[in-house]
Amino acid sequence: MSSDDTSGELPTTSTPLTRRTLSAQDATTAVHHLVRAAQQVIPTAGGAGLSLLDEDGTGSTVASTGTAVEVADALQHQFGMGPSRSAWITGQVQRIDDSAADPRWGPWQAGAATAGIRSVLSVPLPCLDRRLGALTVYATAPDAFGDAEERLLGLLADAAATVLGTAQDPDTPVHRGTPGKDAPDPGGLIGLAAGVLMDRDRLSPETARAALLEAAGTEGRGLAEIATAVVDAATGHEQAGGLQATMTAAFINRQDLWLHHFSLGGSVKEFEIDAYVHHALLLPQLQRDLLAHAASEILDQAAPPRAHSASVALAGLICSTATGGQGRGTLPASG
């Protein structure tokens, strides 16, 4: 309805009311008002901000009440962790009673404390079956927010989500791409990790990437770091299976392998080798490679050509994941 329509009647239109949208400018203005209202109606709040995040985790602060808020939000976008991002990922309210004592988001927490922020309350912005971002208030004193502030901020967050949700055609997705699809992916690592999860847990590409993103937010780690851990675990399990097959086929006992591994500079204890080949322990890459090399040398020292052939074939299987074969690795359903 136009601002000069005073008839009190709804306009006749062929477009359903649910499909009418706000202009981007109107939505931006309304969001700025809501953010200022959040600071004003919550007496303990020293500042407020609203962040939007794409499904690939890219975030931006669209409204804030001051520099400290912008710094806090910028740190979240930089480190890929923080209360606003966790509220968006989990759909749950995030509250920090004292940033100096809460260890959940390490690097972000340290930066926030340096900026003078002690308390944080962040509420997700729900829109139909999606979450657009988070509305967050900050305070310079600890224990600034409780249940009453949480309920009030939740009402404002609902209003902000409604405004943002109507600022576009309902048939147009708010977010671009699928989870993690457009995120920086050094060397295709995120795609490789998603492939591991797809194979292990029978997930779709979208669900696998979403799982990686959720793990990054929940654990307070970067997406690339989570992907590296997933791929390393898959590689380790495949190498462990290859080593066990080699030991069985060539009758290599654990003590001999351990002694040879130790002579090469390895630091794994004998009992850890047993845990490793039975997938109960993931060893560091260097130790895995040293064990593979030790098994290969033991085979080379054994009786003539047959043992050497076994060395080439079996040790090659062990080391395959350390080069180009890691993408074929799968994790067992349980440890």
Looking at residue 335, its pLDDT comes to 37
Given this model, what pLDDT does residue 166 score?
65
Extract the tokens encoding 156: 């404002």
DSSP E strand stretches across 2-129:
47-53, 59-64, 94-96, 119-127
Contact 163, 35 (CB under 8 A): no
Within 8 A by CB and 6+ apart from 182, the residues are 54, 56, 58, 176
- Residue 271: per-residue pLDDT: 92
**pLDDT recorded at residue 95:** 93
Cα(313)–Cα(334) distance, integer angstroms: 28
Given a contact cutoff of 8 angstroms between Cβ atoms, the answer to whether 139 and 46 are in contact is yes
Quote the tokens at residue 163.
């405004």
pLDDT attached to residue 210:
77
Helical (H) or strand (E) element with 132:
strand 130-139
Among 168, 191, 210, 189, residue whose Cα is nearest residue 54: 210
- Give the whole-angstrom CA distance, residue 323 versus residue 180: 25
Distance, CA of 241 to CA of 78 (rounded, Å): 39
Verdict on whether the full-model pTM lies above 0.75: no
pLDDT value at residue 127: 73
Sign of CA dihedral 110, 114, 119, 125: negative
Q: What is the pLDDT along the chain (335 residues), one digit of tens a residue?
A: 444 443 333 333 333 333 344 456 666 788 888 899 999 999 999 999 998 876 656 667 888 888 888 888 888 877 777 888 888 877 889 999 998 888 777 778 777 888 788 999 999 987 766 678 889 999 999 999 999 999 999 998 888 888 777 655 444 333 333 334 444 444 467 777 878 888 888 888 777 777 887 787 777 777 778 888 888 888 888 888 888 888 888 899 999 999 988 998 999 999 999 999 998 999 988 888 889 888 888 887 875 544 444 444 444 444 444 444 443 333 333 33
Per-residue pLDDT at 238: 84
pLDDT at 143: 94
Neighbour-count burial for 78-98, b at 16+ CB within 10 Å, e otherwise = ebbbbbbbbbbbeeebbbbee
Strand partners, 63: 50
Please provide residue 158's backbone torsions phi and psi, each rounded to the nearest 5 degrees.
Answer: -60, -40
